[in-house]
Structure 1
Amino acid sequence: MRRFWSFTAVAAAFGVFAGLAGCGDGADGETTTIGVVGPLTLQYASFGEQMKQGAELAIADINKAGGVLGKKLAADYGDDACDPKQAVAVAGQMVGNRVPLVVGHFCSGSSIPAAQIYGDADLVMISPASTNPSLTDDRAGPNIYRVCGRDDQQGAVAGHYIADHFAGKNIAIVHDKTAYGKGLADQTKKAMNEAGLQEKLYEAITANEKDYSALVSKLKRNNIDLVFLGGYHTEAGLITRQMRDQGLDTVLMGGDALVSQEYWSITGDAGEGTLMTFSPDPRNNPEAKDVVARFEAKGVEPEATSSTPTRRSKPGRRRPRRPARRHPSR
């Protein structure tokens, strides 16, 4: 889930790999087409839509400034729905379309298998949001990049925070079996254990379900004080709301995938007191003032996890902020 840097992912990619723009791939003579891939449908579509909005604004700015190597940019949008199999299929389409660059994918579970396709084709891939370390630690090719931080970074922050603030309490670590969710949960568990605190429960859930009452009942039986969820805002919101429905005041904590207005739409007031790790909100960055204003003028609220990073980013590392209690009014 993320972020603000100095250049757009699109501009950074073509700045670093400018030679690719003159290769002819993905070009019709006057235009170079790049791929932008994310979840445009199903439960994570809000993230993909934010990516798309950011890419459109970035491409408009680049074209207004003269394009890249004299050519205008255009986008070929792909929908992977954050599904690994669909991501591989879309990656194959992008390779077939001979785009020189793909900005994407969003979910780690999509980026990792898609990277194998791009790596084999020697195509440049830059993910704006996939935080699982294996994407770049086990790099599928020399042109696979990310412009966000890693789960071993935010997991360390979360794990030490739990150990420092919930010492002697009953902790549950839960993940959704995805590359992002399990990876973040395991990194958090590792850091927490190393700091001297052991979890009472370690559980897995299935994403996309609606009823998590079995998990909530187990949390209740074990008197869990805090549950760390490695997963996305949809499941986190449902679990939070169902905990409150069963009378639990257990604190829910998660990672940057919870930074979405949709989380609060699910939880309502039940989400008060949620903890999450996240990077600095670009809307509070003076350098992003103009970009944020332009999004808002289009009726788009640029969330911290998607549009601004796609709009303004460059390869690098980021360090998550310490967990904070979040509420939409704060």
Structure 2
Amino acid sequence: MTMKSMAGATALVLMLSSSLAAYADQEIRIGVAGPFTGSYSRLGAQVWNGTNAAAKQINAAGGINGKLIVLVKGDDACEPKQAVAVANRMIDTDHVQAVIGHVCSSSTLPASEIYSDANILMMTPASTANTITERGLDTVTRMVGRDSQQGEVAANYLHEQLQAKRIAIVHDKDSYGMGVALAVQQRLGEMGIKPVLFEGLTRGEKDFNALATKIKGLQVDAVFYGGVAVEAGTLVRQIRESGVDAPFVAGDGIASDDFPVAAGGGQFIKGVLMVFGQDARQNIESQMAVAALRKEGFEPLGYTLYAYAALEAIAQTMQATQSHDGAVLGQWLRDNSVKTVAGNKRWDAKGDLATPDFVMYRWDDQGEYSVLR
């Protein structure tokens, strides 16, 4: 390379650097990571629509310290390897200053290591695996509870309300599904109940008839499933078709309209019980956000308002600290509470919510779920 071409290349690098700096002075770049394609894309749509609605509201009010929010979408398809690629791109190419995501715990775990190394704040609106906040990563937080917490709620309901003694526990072998299933098993053990079955299935499979037959043969009082909506819907349909009418209970991974679709009809999901956080749509603070989302044709189910709340929390943290430093933001969140559409939120030293709000829901034959009263 000649001196002239070297000088030209150097000038180009400086020009690009100056352009990036100029953009950084004008905007706040927030990554939004989740499954936007593939079997779990409806979960990703919840997170994207919630975050996008929050960004519009915050920008209309003046942004963060006078800078407008720009969202950067990263599709991980709930695949850990793809999540790692998304995280690296968010940092190296997109130059995000914080991340909302990921959704599946198996994606959040490896991606969060990368954000931590880059000192980027990450808040997941959906991942509940205990391990996420057990690694001492100062920049990692979440807007939902933990597997251990929802597992306790599910196990208590199985024992105290359903009075089930012969319980089959099925999971999808994933970080989330296995984690919540183990939490249920542990809590049941503390109450002197040993499940008659603890077995895994494989994500992506569609034939669980052999498992359904095994469950039928065990004459169970209840079935608990740890996993996400697609396999849950298929499993509950095949269990019902095999003649098992025992209560079917699941974790928050089925809080998606993928569940009734995969089940093939409301008759198969009627009465299914689900552990999930309080329905933020009922909060006074969320009514403007709910109306805006419905106006755009999107019902804010599942994690939609949790994603909205995550961006609200990040915006308030950046506003208060006037910083994008991940460690600074993470510490501020641990020391303060924030007002969100999901209510007032405060975090503990690990980055977990100080007060999780898991409750029980029941699905009806119209493909809707509501809180048990």
Short-chain TM bin? 0.7 to 0.9
Residue 361 of structure 2: aligned partner? 324
Residue 17 of structure 1: aligned partner? none
Instruction: Flag structure 1 segments of 5+ consecutive residues without an equivalent.
Output: 1-23
1:290 pairs with one of 255, 269, 288: 288
Letter in 2 for 1:301: E
2:206 pairs with one of 210, 213, 232: 210
1:154 pairs with one of 146, 150, 160: 150
Shift of 1:104: 0.7
**Deviation string, structure 1 residues 115-157 (Cα, Å, up to 9, x no partner):** 1111111111111111111111113x31111121111111111
Q: Quick check: 1:157–1:320 contact (8 Å CA) kept in 2?
A: no
Shift of 1:166: 4.3
Q: Label 1:222 to 1:34 Cα distance change in 2 as closer, same or farther (>3 A).
A: same
1:250 pairs with one of 246, 249, 253: 246
Q: Quick check: 1:243–1:250 contact (8 Å CA) kept in 2?
A: no
Q: Quick check: 2:144–2:277 contact (8 Å CA) kept in 1?
A: no
Q: Quick check: 1:161–1:322 contact (8 Å CA) kept in 2?
A: no
Shift of 1:32: 2.3
Letter in 2 for 1:115: S
Letter in 1 for 2:131: S
1:261 pairs with one of 246, 257, 261: 257
SS in structure 1 opposite 2:210? helix
Letter in 1 for 2:68: K
Q: Is 1:186 aligned with 2:186?
A: no
**Deviation string, structure 1 residues 145-194 (Cα, Å, up to 9, x no partner):** 11211111111111122122344631111110111000000001101110
Shift of 1:108: 0.8
SS in structure 1 opposite 2:69? strand
Q: Partners in 1 of 2:154 and 2:210 — Cα distance?
A: 25
Summarize the alignment of residues 1-330 of structure 1 with structure 2, pairs less than 5 Å apart.
Answer: 27-97=23-93, 98-139=95-136, 141-167=137-163, 169-267=165-263, 268=265, 269-303=267-301, 305-313=302-310, 314=313, 316=347, 317=353, 318-327=355-364, 328-329=367-368
**Alignment root-mean-square deviation, CA:** 1.8
Q: Quick check: 1:27–1:33 contact (8 Å CA) kept in 2?
A: no
Letter in 2 for 1:221: G
SS in structure 2 opposite 1:29? helix
Q: Partners in 2 of 1:26 and 1:153 — Cα distance?
A: 45
Q: Quick check: 1:88–1:113 contact (8 Å CA) kept in 2?
A: yes
TM-score, L = length of structure 1: 0.88
Q: Partners in 1 of 2:56 and 2:92 — Cα distance?
A: 25
Letter in 1 for 2:303: S
**Deviation string, structure 1 residues 78-111 (Cα, Å, up to 9, x no partner):** 0011111110111111110221111111111110
Residue 19 of structure 1: aligned partner? none
Q: Quick check: 1:173–1:185 contact (8 Å CA) kept in 2?
A: yes
Q: Partners in 2 of 1:179 and 1:78 — Cα distance?
A: 20
Q: Label 1:62 to 1:287 Cα distance change in 2 as closer, same or farther (>3 A).
A: closer
Q: Label 1:187 to 1:27 Cα distance change in 2 as closer, same or farther (>3 A).
A: farther
Residue 8 of structure 1: aligned partner? none
Shift of 1:113: 0.7
Q: Quick check: 1:272–1:326 contact (8 Å CA) kept in 2?
A: yes
Structure whose CA Rg is larger: 2
Q: Quick check: 2:80–2:107 contact (8 Å CA) kept in 1?
A: yes
Q: Label 1:229 to 1:72 Cα distance change in 2 as closer, same or farther (>3 A).
A: same
Residue 325 of structure 2: aligned partner? none
Q: Quick check: 1:26–1:33 contact (8 Å CA) kept in 2?
A: no
Instruction: Flag structure 2 segments of 5+ consecutive residues without an equivalent.
Output: 1-19, 314-345, 348-352
Residue 21 of structure 1: aligned partner? none
Letter in 2 for 1:282: A
RCO greater where, 1 or 2, for CA within 8 Å and sep 6 or more? 1
Shift of 1:25: 7.1
Q: Quick check: 1:26–1:32 contact (8 Å CA) kept in 2?
A: no
Q: Which runs of 4+ in 1 moved over 4 A?
A: none
SS in structure 2 opposite 1:43? coil
